[in-house]
Structure 1
């Protein structure tokens, strides 16, 4: 009988340890709890998901964003909901860069996507729904450039579709040679993209 009680207690302990601690995604910006799951409890990320397009004449910039739930962060040993994406830039009718086909691949690292990550900005100064997100942005032919984008969501009003505003933000990059390009193939300017 004593053996049965010990087995039951061991079984309950194992089950309790196997469950991840679920925390709001905003808490991932502070102290990381190993093994925890930082979940998008308020669906803060859902509004960014979809295909967005900027067009002026024969120039266009298209971004498709997806939400990946419970993505494992191997570096710090925790799970989190993140945004991943890819893009296509066409200038004067000529495709300059197109990474959209990469969305068909299920990578084990968020850094293999050309748009990825999740930093929620304005989390203390803005209410839920008005916050921006910051993601990494990579040009696959110039991956030495350390770039990011801020994305702000603008809700649909009447017949006007939802929009996102994109602002490029860079940081220090180490250029491999004097002849290497120092800017992305997508012009680093502010864009307003419409939901498709």
Structure 2
């Protein structure tokens, strides 16, 4: 029994040491040089602060373009992605907001919007976290002109979802407004 405790303590010490050194070696993504990078200028049209208002209801999104590592490649190549933050107000009450994180970057993982493709017809495809119910949906954001974008659709992702025991199963309800035109602020 005494030897078992000794082995457990040694194993925990080795594990803790490895975790400590692993954490010290992490650098922000922006400090690691890219092997290749070609800017995606089509994403520039979506960058900015956009807002829709109707009476006491409003929906605001702040979108930024950021250079990140290509998630599929392991050659340190970089690509542009849209990260964003949103706030939804209904009847004058803030239902959900991630705008307090607008000064963070991709590496901090506090964004509520993550855009990855601009389709040929000027549509940004992005994932959106619905903070009030834990749902994650896909959004199609259409560029209209320099001052307007339109949320064409918000849909749940198709397919089977896996939740481990103890995890909260999010609602599949989409509570954010759809088919709205936002104006650049």
Q: What TM-score, normalized to structure 2?
A: 0.68
Deviations 1:132-177 (A, max 9, x none): 110111123544x341111111125xxxxx1100121322364869
Q: Which runs of 4+ in 1 moved over 4 A?
A: 175-180
Kept in 2: contact 1:97–1:185 (CA 8 A): no
Aligned equivalent of 1:106: 105
Inter-partner Cα distance in structure 1 for 2:113 and 2:39: 20
Aligned equivalent of 1:191: 180
Aligned equivalent of 2:11: none
Kept in 2: contact 1:114–1:137 (CA 8 A): yes
Match of 2:68 among 67, 71, 90: 71
Alignment root-mean-square deviation, CA: 2.7
Inter-partner Cα distance in structure 1 for 2:65 and 2:58: 23
Aligned equivalent of 1:82: 81
1:149/1:180 CA distance change after superposition, 3 Å: closer
In structure 2, list runs of 5 or more residues that go unmatched. Answer: 1-32
In structure 1, list runs of 5 or more residues that go unmatched. Answer: 1-18, 21-34, 157-161
Aligned equivalent of 1:36: 36
The count of residues paired between Structure 1 and Structure 2 equals 146
Kept in 1: contact 2:112–2:129 (CA 8 A): yes
Aligned equivalent of 1:168: 154
